[in-house]
Structure 1
Amino acid sequence: MSASQAPIRRRFPAHPSSVGQARALTRQTLSEPAHEPLVDDAQLLVSEVVTNALMHAGTPIDFALSLFDGTVRVEVSDGAAHLPVRRDYGTMAGTGRGLQLLETLADQWGVDLTGDGKTVWFELSPPGAEARDDGPQTAPARVAKAEDADDAVTVTLRNVPLLLHAAWHQHAESVLREYLLFRLDDLDAVDEIEMHAAAHEAMALLIESIPAPELGDQPEELLAAAIEPLVSKDRVLLHVPRALVPSFAMLNETLDAALELALAGKFLTPPMQPEMRALRQWLCREVVQQSAGAPGTPWAGLLDVPPQTPPVDRDTEEIAASELALVAADDRNRIVAASQVALEMLGYSRADQLVGRRILAIIPARYHQAHLAGFTLHLNVGRSPLLERSVTVPALRGDGTEALVELTVTTRQSSGGGRLFVAELKEPGTPAGEGE
């Protein structure tokens, strides 16, 4: 190609094969030795941007690649006007990889609104080259606000659990992607991608409208910030274009179908707390019903889940017989064993008074949302700021009173094949190595 030449353009269908085709076109166009330093980064960014357009828009994708004096410019356009937004999730991070890569690797990048959609673009310059100051310039990316739409409805969400929502969003993103890949094996790819894009558009509006709490990285910061009422919001307004309302019903139906497949063992997904499903159903129901004129209903809070007797195996027997104060839970957040020393510390006389209940039974109510969110994020993205660390926390005793305990949680694989979370409890200030 010459120093400055018209872009190479292709239109790719809304199909998974388009990602590979776009990568191959990029590699072919940058095949000359002078462009070799840019090939890997260009292919990686093309993969991310085209995949995002495929998954989140579900429309045909217009791809353009240009060279300007050695600088590569790529433009990826789709038919969804809902623009991506770069959010700083802090310790809640687990999403936004595509935009993070653009910020890290690209010399310049942006998002432009078009008449019927958007264009995500980026530029890469050769090592040592100055950023290009000629050629087309674009305005900074902005979010397409639903309240700008001529026909929108305002939905009022009350008593919104902010931490629970942020964790649910991480779980739902991974489940939606796995569900789509599973369904593409047997069904029409275009229809499935369009359904996925509609569901994701509903999720995008939620994540843009419902703030994620700012939490620190250190255990002390987390324990101070992740409590009620700091992690809930009395009222959140959603400005929903009426054309987007059916997407919330589709989101609800799609995730219900994905959950059924997961329960049937069709694909791998971490266990989900019942509040996560209830929260998603409540959010979607509020949008659909309020859009039809019905009054809103506040989030009802945590569910009353009946105890379930866990199976007994070598691990649970060892924990129950330990001379240390040990409490173990499985990956469904259910207490499966407790030693006699731990039972006495927590105010219980028999194991069957505690074993089988959710771990929430020994956590004060103001920390319930934080525990459920943290447990979900650990299973989904490996976030574990409190694991393998000694922290002093309040524990809820059987009579409803609280007692400070020094707590250290470790994980292990159980002999039954699952994962165990084992907490050792001590009186605060107990020297290391001393049991109770």
Structure 2
Amino acid sequence: MGLTSSVTGHGSFEARLPPQPTSVAEARSLMRGLLGQTGRADLVETAVLLVSEVVTNALLHAGTDIDLAAVLGVDGLRVEVGDGSPHLPSRRRYAATAGTGRGLLMLESMVDDWGVTRRPGGKVVWFRISGPDLDLEDPVELRGDRAGRSDGRRDNVAVELRNVPLLLHAAWQEHAEALLREYLLASLDEPGGQDPIQMHADATDAIAVLEEHIPRTGVEMVADALMDDALEPGVSAAVIRVPVPRASVSHFATLDRAIEAALDLSREGLVLTPPTQPEVQAFRKWICRQVLSQASGARPEPWQVPADAVGAMVLPEGWDPTVVTRAAHGLIAADATSRILAVSAAAATLLGYDDPVELVGRRIVSIVPERYRQAHVAGFTMYLLVGRKPLLDRRVQIPALRRDGTEVEIELTVRSPGIGTGQSVLLADIRPARR
């Protein structure tokens, strides 16, 4: 590590830190040393927390050398953290239970001022804190403009994404970032192979390129709110053009591989982030391969929802399906992949099926009208990831799709009884809607 340090009358230091986990501890140590030498113990706790957060973000999202500088003056402490990523910090609106995405909100709440300055080959994130003795201006939000992003760089590949599911993209992004963070932690001590820090930085670069150009729908996935307005075609975009920097194209292959490897660990129970719906996994494969194939000259292929396959069922250990099959009322059970495990005769009749077995093995989307399916998959993904549960233990009236393609209004109440094995089974009570 090349490290230079100097102290002036008010105190300052500069350091270049390598893209290694030890750099976070080194940054904290430098900050404590500066504030200790200059008698500003009142700033230590806040400054160390903030520099740790910003340097960690640079480490994870850039994977380059990190330039750290701090100057202590009469108006407080100014800290600058530079890295080699062109992507500006992006504010997340993830759930309170999410394992990632709150760093920028924390920064905004604790500083007097902060911003981002672009520089050749990257950016500098800076913040200023004054301590309790000075009352500076209100905090300033992100100062780096969002214009001139990856599309402002010359060497781009023009990628055209067609029929893009916007709500599915938002759910996938949050799930992917959680998976990548845990996969990184699980990989740090693994010998050989690709540098896990660099792998994470490359994968998150691909996610950031997409985030800069794929718009949000305006539908908030709030923990206890139904997405009543999340209907097709309003949650999809016919065409989105994404100028992908040529240097970032290979990062989409890294993203695809990293998520697949992380999902393998998730299925084995080695990371906390759960596997997710087949549509979410298919979306990741589609969007990564669209970038890679179009970079090689292929024509765009629109997103298509994967066919719902009927497969052999594996019932959760210790769960008895007769609690459903013998029920006198409409009752459906589904597992964590949204696959139907058991159906009562009354539920099958309401949905137009002669035999309940016809529904077993299918996924819940098979009885969801098409205009609601993207919202269902996104909502179910967020339920598994962060406990988003607006339908649990709440009676709602919604349309259901019958076997013949017609719709029937039903009253639905979803429960999630524990079965004591770490697995989950969702039980849906359904009945005809009251007139």
The aligned counterpart of 1:197 is: 201
1:110 to 1:40, Cα distance in 2 relative to 1, 3 A: same
Deviation at 1:107, TM superposition (A): 1.4
Deviation at 1:170, TM superposition (A): 1.0
- Counterpart check, 1:141 vs 2:163: no
Report the Cα distance in structure 1 between the residues aligned to 2:186 and 2:20, rounded to whole angstroms: 14
Deviation at 1:218, TM superposition (A): 7.6
- Counterpart check, 1:231 vs 2:247: no
Secondary structure at the counterpart of residue 59 of structure 2: helix
The aligned counterpart of 1:160 is: 164
Question: Which amino acid letter does the alignment assign opposite residue 143 of structure 2?
Answer: P
Q: Verify the 8 A CA contact 2:161 2:300 in the aligned structure 1.
A: yes
Report the Cα distance in structure 2 between the residues aligned to 1:4 and 1:365, rounded to whole angstroms: 68
- Counterpart check, 1:19 vs 2:24: yes
Q: Verify the 8 A CA contact 1:325 1:424 in the aligned structure 2.
A: yes
Question: Which amino acid letter does the alignment assign opposite residue 243 of structure 1?
Answer: A
- Counterpart check, 1:384 vs 2:389: yes
Q: Report Cα offsets for 1:32-71 as digits up to 9, x if no partner.
A: 8974443333232222211110110001212222222262
Q: Report Cα offsets for 1:273-308 as digits up to 9, x if no partner.
A: 222222112111111221222211111223332233
Q: Verify the 8 A CA contact 2:71 2:77 in the aligned structure 1.
A: yes
Equivalent residues in 2 for 1:303-382, closer than 5 Å: 303-311=307-315, 313-382=318-387
- Counterpart check, 1:406 vs 2:420: no
- Counterpart check, 1:43 vs 2:48: yes
- Counterpart check, 1:72 vs 2:39: no
Deviation at 1:128, TM superposition (A): 5.3
Structure 1 length-normalised TM: 0.88
Q: How many residues align?
A: 427
The aligned counterpart of 2:290 is: 286
Q: Verify the 8 A CA contact 2:78 2:128 in the aligned structure 1.
A: yes
Q: Verify the 8 A CA contact 2:161 2:239 in the aligned structure 1.
A: yes
Q: Sequence identity, in percent?
A: 45
Deviation at 1:228, TM superposition (A): 0.9
Report the Cα distance in structure 2 between the residues aligned to 1:52 and 1:2, rounded to whole angstroms: 26
Please identify, of 270-279 and 1-10, the stretch whose mean Cα deviation from structure 2 is larger: 1-10
Q: Verify the 8 A CA contact 1:198 1:250 in the aligned structure 2.
A: yes
Report the Cα distance in structure 1 between the residues aligned to 2:411 and 2:136, rounded to whole angstroms: 54
Q: Report Cα offsets for 1:192-248 as digits up to 9, x if no partner.
A: 211221111111011121112111568998443211111110000101121221111
The answer for unaligned runs of 5 or more in structure 1 is: 431-436
Q: Verify the 8 A CA contact 1:63 1:74 in the aligned structure 2.
A: yes
Q: Verify the 8 A CA contact 2:94 2:174 in the aligned structure 1.
A: no
Q: Verify the 8 A CA contact 2:158 2:244 in the aligned structure 1.
A: yes
Q: Verify the 8 A CA contact 1:249 1:288 in the aligned structure 2.
A: yes
Q: Report Cα offsets for 1:346-384 as digits up to 9, x if no partner.
A: 223322111221111221111111111111111112222
Q: Verify the 8 A CA contact 1:162 1:232 in the aligned structure 2.
A: yes
Secondary structure at the counterpart of residue 422 of structure 2: coil
Deviation at 1:410, TM superposition (A): 2.1
Report the Cα distance in structure 1 between the residues aligned to 2:283 and 2:310, rounded to whole angstroms: 19
The aligned counterpart of 2:108 is: 103
Secondary structure at the counterpart of residue 302 of structure 2: coil
Question: Which amino acid letter does the alignment assign opposite residue 178 of structure 1?
Answer: E
The answer for unaligned runs of 5 or more in structure 2 is: 1-5
Report the Cα distance in structure 2 between the residues aligned to 1:304 and 1:427, rounded to whole angstroms: 25
1:353 to 1:397, Cα distance in 2 relative to 1, 3 A: same
Secondary structure at the counterpart of residue 398 of structure 2: strand
Please identify, of 333-342 and 109-118, the stretch whose mean Cα deviation from structure 2 is larger: 333-342
Q: Verify the 8 A CA contact 2:11 2:38 in the aligned structure 1.
A: no
Question: Which amino acid letter does the alignment assign opposite residue 400 of structure 2?
Answer: A
1:37 to 1:397, Cα distance in 2 relative to 1, 3 A: farther
Extract structure 1 runs of 4+ deviating beyond 6 A: 1-4, 89-94, 217-221
1:102 to 1:268, Cα distance in 2 relative to 1, 3 A: closer
Deviation at 1:6, TM superposition (A): 4.7
Q: Verify the 8 A CA contact 2:113 2:127 in the aligned structure 1.
A: yes
Which of 81, 84, 98 pairs up with 2:89? 84
Question: Which amino acid letter does the alignment assign opposite residue 174 of structure 1?
Answer: A
1:316 to 1:3, Cα distance in 2 relative to 1, 3 A: farther
Secondary structure at the counterpart of residue 158 of structure 2: strand
1:55 to 1:139, Cα distance in 2 relative to 1, 3 A: closer
Report the Cα distance in structure 2 between the residues aligned to 1:268 and 1:126, rounded to whole angstroms: 38
Question: Which amino acid letter does the alignment assign opposite residue 357 of structure 2?
Answer: D
Deviation at 1:138, TM superposition (A): 12
Deviation at 1:330, TM superposition (A): 1.1
Report the Cα distance in structure 1 between the residues aligned to 2:215 and 2:266, rounded to whole angstroms: 29
The aligned counterpart of 2:257 is: 253
Structure 2 length-normalised TM: 0.88
Report the Cα distance in structure 2 between the residues aligned to 1:293 and 1:217, rounded to whole angstroms: 37
Higher helix share: 1
Secondary structure at the counterpart of residue 10 of structure 2: coil
Report the Cα distance in structure 2 between the residues aligned to 1:371 and 1:219, rounded to whole angstroms: 14
Question: Which amino acid letter does the alignment assign opposite residue 321 of structure 1?
Answer: R
Instruction: Provide the aligned C-alpha RMSD in A.
Output: 3.1
Q: Verify the 8 A CA contact 1:35 1:70 in the aligned structure 2.
A: no
Q: Verify the 8 A CA contact 2:100 2:178 in the aligned structure 1.
A: no
Question: Which amino acid letter does the alignment assign opposite residue 269 of structure 1?
Answer: T
1:411 to 1:40, Cα distance in 2 relative to 1, 3 A: farther
Report the Cα distance in structure 2 between the residues aligned to 1:149 and 1:208, rounded to whole angstroms: 13
1:386 to 1:68, Cα distance in 2 relative to 1, 3 A: farther
Which of 267, 273, 298 pairs up with 1:269? 273
Report the Cα distance in structure 2 between the residues aligned to 1:221 and 1:261, rounded to whole angstroms: 31
Equivalent residues in 2 for 1:420-435, closer than 5 Å: 420-429=425-434
Please identify, of 241-250 and 343-352, the stretch whose mean Cα deviation from structure 2 is larger: 343-352
Deviation at 1:87, TM superposition (A): 5.7
Secondary structure at the counterpart of residue 228 of structure 2: helix
Report the Cα distance in structure 2 between the residues aligned to 1:427 and 1:333, rounded to whole angstroms: 22
Please identify, of 340-349 and 49-58, the stretch whose mean Cα deviation from structure 2 is larger: 340-349
